[in-house]
Amino acid sequence: MPKTVNWQEQMQSVVGAKGFTSAADDMSPWLTDWRGRYTGAAAAMISPGSTQETAEILKIANENSVAIVPQGGNSGMVGGATPDDSGQSILLSLRRMNRIRAIESGDQLVLCEAGVILQNLHEALADEGQRFPLTLGGKGSATVGGLISTNAGGTQVLRHGTMRALVAGIEAVLPDGTILEGLAALKKDNRGYDLKQLLIGGEGTLGVVTAATLRTVPALIDRCVAWIAVDSTDAAYRLFQFLNRRTPQSLEGFEIIPETCLDSVLRHIPGTRPPLTGAHRWNILVELVRDQADAQDPRTVAEALLAEALELGLIEDATLAASEQQAEDFWKIRDSISEAERAGGPALQHDISVPVPKMARFINEASPVIEAKFPGTKVAAFGHMGDGNVHLHVKAPPGVQPLEWMRDYGNRITPLVHDLVIAAGGSISAEHGIGQNKRAELERLSSPGRLAMMRAIKTAIDPKNIMNPGKLVPLASGHSGS
Amino acid sequence: MPKTVNWQEQMQSVVGAKGFTSAADDMSPWLTDWRGRYTGAAAAMISPGSTQETAEILKIANENSVAIVPQGGNSGMVGGATPDDSGQSILLSLRRMNRIRAIESGDQLVLCEAGVILQNLHEALADEGQRFPLTLGGKGSATVGGLISTNAGGTQVLRHGTMRALVAGIEAVLPDGTILEGLAALKKDNRGYDLKQLLIGGEGTLGVVTAATLRTVPALIDRCVAWIAVDSTDAAYRLFQFLNRRTPQSLEGFEIIPETCLDSVLRHIPGTRPPLTGAHRWNILVELVRDQADAQDPRTVAEALLAEALELGLIEDATLAASEQQAEDFWKIRDSISEAERAGGPALQHDISVPVPKMARFINEASPVIEAKFPGTKVAAFGHMGDGNVHLHVKAPPGVQPLEWMRDYGNRITPLVHDLVIAAGGSISAEHGIGQNKRAELERLSSPGRLAMMRAIKTAIDPKNIMNPGKLVPLASGHSGS
C-alpha cells in the first residue's frame, strides 16, 4: 500500500528545505503587516526558487483547496499580504526569486523576477545609465511582484505613470498551476483580452506574478526642485496646468503641502527649515528634470517659468533649491508629513483620488463638511496633486485618547470621506489598493455592474478561491472569501 | 389575456422607428466587411441613440438569447463586425451615438460617444489646438468605439501608444444590460481589476463601449519628414535605436520600406517619384515633430542627427522633405504600398509583431524560409518597424490564377508565417485583431493557460454568449460560439 503523502509534504519536496518553514520564529515577521494593523497565521511559509516551483506549489494548493497568500516585501498599506488567522493558509514568499535576468539598455527594458527589491533595481539600472521611474517610501523592501500586484504609484507618476504603464510583459502562475508566459515586450499585440492587465493591480487574487519585463528611461542628468507658495488650491491647479502645458516632458513632480502640514513638519521633524519666509496657505513642491543631453537645463526652465508665473499672479513666492542637498531638504519636508502628523496626534488617513481638474474644489469643499460634522477635527490634504491624488488626513480633536478615538470615529469619518470622494467622481483607493482594509467600503460604494464583473472574473479564474482569499474582491455571500 | 410582444417589437419600441430596420436594402451595406471577405445576415439593424437605449436593447437580447454584433464604421480588417449567416443576430450600429460631449483642452481630455468618426474627432480637436494622436487609413469611417474595441494602432504608436494608452475612461454596457460607468479620467485608481482594459481590444465580445474619455496632446507646430536609405535591416534597427535615444520626445514615425515595395509603388501608383537617386535595399521613412513652442525645430534636429548618422556609417543616404507637399508625397509612398502590391498580383497579407530588437533578424530569417518552402513566392515586409510591427506580404509566383492560388496556398503559407512569428516570441495579430479571420490560428497557437483564461473570462461575463459570438474567443467545443 503506498504511503500517503499530505500536501505539506508534497510542497516541501518541491521547494526543498531552504524554501519551506513552519517554525513560528521564521514566519512571525511576515505575519503582521508593517503598520501593525493586521496579524494572521499560516500553516507554513513557502519560498519557491523558480517559476516552475511556484507552479507546482499552486497545483498542489489547488488540488487540496489550500489558500495561498503571496507576499513580496510585506510593505503594503492595506493588509493585502497578511493571511487570515485560521492558520490554514500558505504564506508564499517570492523573495528568493530575486534575479535581475537581463538589462537591455539599448531597448530600455529590464527583465527581472518578482522578488527583486525596488532599490536594488534602481541601483542595478543606474550602473547602466538607466532608471526605473517609480519610487516610493518602501523602496528598500518593496518587490517588483508586489509593486505590480498593487499597481504601485509614488512620486513620479505624473510623467511616467503608475506601474501599469511601466510593465511591458509579465510571467505569472494561474491558480491551477498553469504558467502564463508573456514576458516578450511587444509594443503591439492584439490577440484578444490583455490578460496581464488583470494581474496588474489584482492583489494576488488571480494568480502569482513571478517575473516581468519593465520599461526603463534614461538616467537623470540633473533636476531642479522648486518650493512655491500659492494662495489657494485653485491657484495651485492653475499653476499645474501652466507648468504641465509648458514643460510636459520634464515635469516629474507636483506635490501640494498645506501650511498646517508644513508647520507640523517644522515642529516635529528635527533639522527641517522653512524654504520660504512668511506664512503661505499652500505650498507646492515642483521637480523639473533633464534626462536628454540636448534638453534644456531644468534650472533655466524653472527660473523662466516661475518668473512668468509670478508676473501672471499665479504664485506668491518661489525659491529654487540651490544645491542637491537643498533639493533633498525640500523633498524631506514632503516625505516627513505622515511622520510629523502622527507625532501631532491621531489621524485617520485616506488615500483617495479625483479627476485632476476637480481636486482644488474637492479639497475646498470636503474639508469644511468633515470638520463641521465632526467638531474639533482638522482636515489636512497633501500629496500628488498633479495626479489628482491626495492623502486626506482627518486629525482628532486635541486631548482625545488615540485608540479610543480611532475606534469610535473610524467607522463614521471614513465612510463620509469616501462618500464625498465618490460624489466627486473619484476613487476610494488611489494607489494603496483594497486588500483587507477597504474591502467592505469597496462593496458599499461600487456599482452593481462593477461588483458583478469583478466577482465573475475572480470566480472564473480562481473557482476554488485559493488565491489570497478575503482580499480585494467582496465575493457574494456563500463564498468562503466573502 | 395580455398581447404577446416578441423581442423584436420590444427592441423597436426602445429605439423607435429611426433606430430600427429590418429592410434588406438598409442593412446590406453593413453586412459585408469592407474588404469583401465576409458576408453575414441579420434579423434587424438597431441603432440606439443613447447609452440607456443600448442598455435596454442588451437586456432584451440577453433575456431572449439573441446574438448582438456591435458595429462602428465597418472598417475592420478581420471580419469582427460582420454577423454570421444565420440571420438570427442583431447588428447593433453605434453610428447614431456620434456626439463629442466635451473637449477639455486645459486638461487634454475629450469625452465622446462611441459613434464619433475619427476624422471628425481630429477636426474638432484641431479647432481647439489639440490633437488625438492616433490615425489610420480608415479614419473617414472608423469610430471611437471600434477603435477602442480593436485597440487600434496606426502610424503614431511609436510615441503615443495604441488606443489602450489613449483611453482615460470608458462607459460600456455589459451583456445583461448593466451600464458600467467609468468615464472619470482618474490618473490613479486602484479599486481592483481594471475592467476597462478588458473592453479595450475585447472586440465587442464582453459588452458594448458606448462612450469614452480620451487623452489628447497639443496640436503639431511643425514636422520634418525624412527619407533615408540603409543597407540592411540591422542598420535600420541601429538607426532606430540612435534616433529613439536622441529624440524620444519628437520621433513619431519610423517606417521601413524595402526596395521591392518602393519599386512596386513607383510602377503602379501614378504621380509617385523616388525620393532618392540610386538603388537602395531598404528605405526608412522618419517623422520628427514639434508640439511645444520651446522645443527644437525638428528640421534642425533631423539635419544634425542624419549628418551624424551618415558619419557613423549608419545610413547610406537621406533627404528631408523640403515642403509639406513633399512630406505628403513621402507618406503617400508608404501608404500606397498595399494598393501597389495588390496591383502587382495576389499576395497573402500578415499583420504581425515581434519584439522591436528582434525585427531585423526576423525579416532576414523568415523571408528565405518562406520563399524556399513555396518556390516562386516573394516576401515583402514593410511598416511600423519602430513598433516591432510589419505587414508581411507573401506574393504569389507570377502567372498564377489569383483566387485559386489564394485558396490553395492560404492555409499553407499563413500557418508557416505564424509559426515563425511565434518562434520569435511575437504576435499573430499586431494591430488588426482576431475577429473571424484569425480565430482558428489563435486557438492553434495560444498556450493552454492563455486560452483557458480567455474562455473563462468570456463565459463568466457573457454566459449566454450573446456578445459578438463567433469572434475572437475560440470557445471550447459544446459552446455555440466555437
Please write the tens of the pLDDT for every residue from B141-172: 999 999 999 999 988 999 999 999 999 999 99
Is there a domain that residue B456 lies in? no
Cα separation, A119 vs A142, whole angstroms: 8
Q: What is the reported pLDDT for B480?
A: 40
Chain B contact set for A190 (CB, 8 A): 150-151, 153, 201, 427, 429-434
| B469 in any annotated domain | no
Dihedral (CA of B272, B273, B274, B278) sign: positive
Please answer whether residues B144 and B94 qualify as being in contact, where contact means their C-beta atoms are separated by less than 8 angstroms: no
Q: What is the mean pLDDT of residues A61-87?
A: 97
- Å from A376 to nearest chain B CA? 31
Together in a domain, A235 and A185: no
Q: Do B312 and B277 fall within a single domain?
A: yes
State which residue of chain A sits closest to B452, comparing Cα positions: A461
CATH number at residue A171: 3.30.465.10
Check pLDDT > 70 for residue B478: no
Is the domain of B240 the same as that of B314?
A: yes
Is the same domain home to B84 and B104?
no
Is A201 close to B193, i.e. CB distance below 8 A?
yes
Is A428 part of a structural domain of the chain?
no
Given CA atoms A78, A135, A245, A305 in this order, what sign does their dihedral have? positive
Q: Are A383 and A331 contained in the same domain?
A: no
Mark which of B77, B93, B109 sits at the end of a domain.
Answer: B93
Judged against a pLDDT cut of 90, whether residue B220 lies above it is answered with yes
pLDDT at B276 over 70: yes
pLDDT bucket at A3, cuts 50 / 70 / 90: low
Q: In chain A, pLDDT over 90 holds for what percent of residues?
A: 92
Contact criterion met (CB < 8 Å) for B246 and A355: no
Q: Is the confidence metric ipTM above 0.90 for this complex?
A: yes
Cβ contact, residue pair B353, A162, below 8 Å: no
Q: With contacts defined as CB-CB under 8 Å, which chain A residues touch B362?
A: none
User: Do the chains contact at B198 and A197, CB–CB below 8 Å?
Assistant: yes
Chain A contacts of B431, Cβ < 8 Å? 188, 190
Q: What percent of chain A has pLDDT over 70?
A: 98
8 Å CB contact of A241 and B442 = no
Instruction: Judge: A195–B430 Cβ closer than 8 Å, yes or no.
Output: no
CB contact under 8 A, B192 and A198: no
Residue A353 and residue B189: Cβ atoms within 8 Å? yes
Give the residue on B whose Cα is nearest the Cα of A241.
B106
Distance from CA of B318 to the nearest CA of A (A): 22
Host domain of residue B35: 7-93
Scanning the structure block, which residue is given the C-alpha cell 436593447?
Answer: B57
Number of A–B residue contacts, CB under 8 Å:
231
Verify that B248 and B278 share a domain, yes or no.
Answer: yes
- Report pLDDT for B482: 34
Option in B162, B202, B357 nearest A188 (CB): B162
Q: Please tell me which of the candidates A180, A430, A453 has its beta carbon nearest to residue B188.
A: A430
Q: How far is B4 from chain A (nearest CA, A)?
A: 30
pLDDT digits (tens, 9 = 90+) for A407-464: 999 999 999 999 999 999 999 999 999 999 999 999 999 999 999 999 999 999 999 9
Of A157, A188, A354, which is closest to B388 when you measure between CB atoms?
A188
pLDDT of residue B4: 65
Same-domain check for residues A231 and A333: yes
Nearest to B430 among A190, A198, A461 (CB): A190
Residue of chain A minimizing CA distance to B243: A106
pLDDT of residue A478: 42
Of A423, A448, A463, which marks where a domain is finished? A423
Across the interface, whether the CB atoms of A186 and B388 are under 8 A apart is answered yes
B373 and B397 in a common domain: yes
How many Å lie between the alpha carbon of A157 and the closest alpha carbon of chain B?
8
CATH of the domain at B274: 3.30.70.2190
B447: nearest CA in chain A? A180
Q: Is the pLDDT of residue B328 over 80?
A: yes
pLDDT band of residue A247 (cuts 50, 70, 90) is confident
Nearest to B431 among A188, A355, A432 (CB): A188
Question: What residues of B are in contact with residue A201 (Cβ under 8 Å)?
Answer: 190, 192-194
- Examine the fold and report which residue of B175, B191, B218 is the final residue of a domain before the chain moves on: B218
How many structural domains does chain B have? Answer: 4
Of A201, A249, A447, the CB nearest to B249: A249
Per-residue cell: B317: 543616404
CB atoms inside a 10 Å sphere around CB A246:
17
Nearest CA in chain A to B166: A165
pLDDT for the residue A480: 41
Nearest CA in chain A to B433: A190
Chain A residue with minimum CA distance to B250 = A249
Q: Do B188 and A384 touch (CB under 8 A)?
A: yes
Which of A10-24, A258-272, B35-49, B468-482 is the least confident region? B468-482
Average pLDDT score, chain B: 95
By CA distance, what is A166's nearest residue in B?
A: B165
Q: Is residue A462 one of the residues assigned to a domain?
A: no
Confidence of residue A292 (pLDDT cuts 50, 70, 90): confident
What pLDDT score was predicted for residue A236? Answer: 97
Q: Is B293 a residue whose pLDDT tops 90?
A: no
Residues A113 and A203 in one domain: yes
pLDDT (tens digit per residue) in A181-200: 999 999 999 999 999 999 99
Contacts of A460 in chain B (CB under 8 A): 456-457, 459-460
Contact A427 B387 (CB under 8 A): no
Q: Give A124: exposed, middle or buried? Use CB within 10 Å, 0-12, 13-18, 19+.
A: middle
- Hey, are the CB atoms on B425 and A388 less than 8 Å from each other? no
Residue A74 has pLDDT above 70, yes or no: yes
pLDDT in tens, B229-254: 999 999 999 999 999 988 878 999 99
pLDDT of amino acid A4: 65
Nearest chain B residue (CA) to A433: B190
Which residues in chain A are contacts of B193 at CB distance < 8 A?
A: 198, 201-202, 206, 453-454, 457
CATH number at residue B412: 3.30.70.2740
Kindly report the CATH number assigned to the domain that includes residue A26: 3.30.43.10
Same-domain check for residues B115 and B213: yes
A201 contacts B190? CB cut-off 8 A: yes
For residue B151, give the chain A residue with the closest CA: A190
Q: Which amino acid is at A40?
A: G
Verify that B115 and B81 share a domain, yes or no: no
Does B167 fall in a domain? yes
pLDDT band at A2, cuts 50/70/90?
low
Residue A470 lies in a domain: no
Tell me, yes or no, whether A472 lies in a domain: no
Q: Is the pLDDT assigned to residue B285 strictly greater than 60? A: yes
Which residue among B164, B194, B245 places its CB closest to the CB of A201?
A: B194
Which residues touch A8 (CB under 8 Å, ≥6 apart)?
A22, A43, A44
Chain B, nearest residue to A106 by Cα: B241
In a domain, A482, yes or no: no
Best of A190, A390, A457 to disrupt the B interface (most B CBs within 10 Å) is: A190
pLDDT of residue A482: 34
Q: Determine whether the interchain pair B449/A178 forms a contact, defined as Cβ–Cβ distance below 8 Å.
A: yes
Residue A41's CB is within 10 A of a number of other CB atoms, namely 17
CA of A375 vs chain B CAs: smallest distance (Å): 30
With CB atoms and an 8 Å threshold, state whether B189 touches A107: no
Q: Are residues A28 and A77 in the same domain?
A: yes
Question: Quick check: B187 and A456 CB within 8 A?
Answer: no
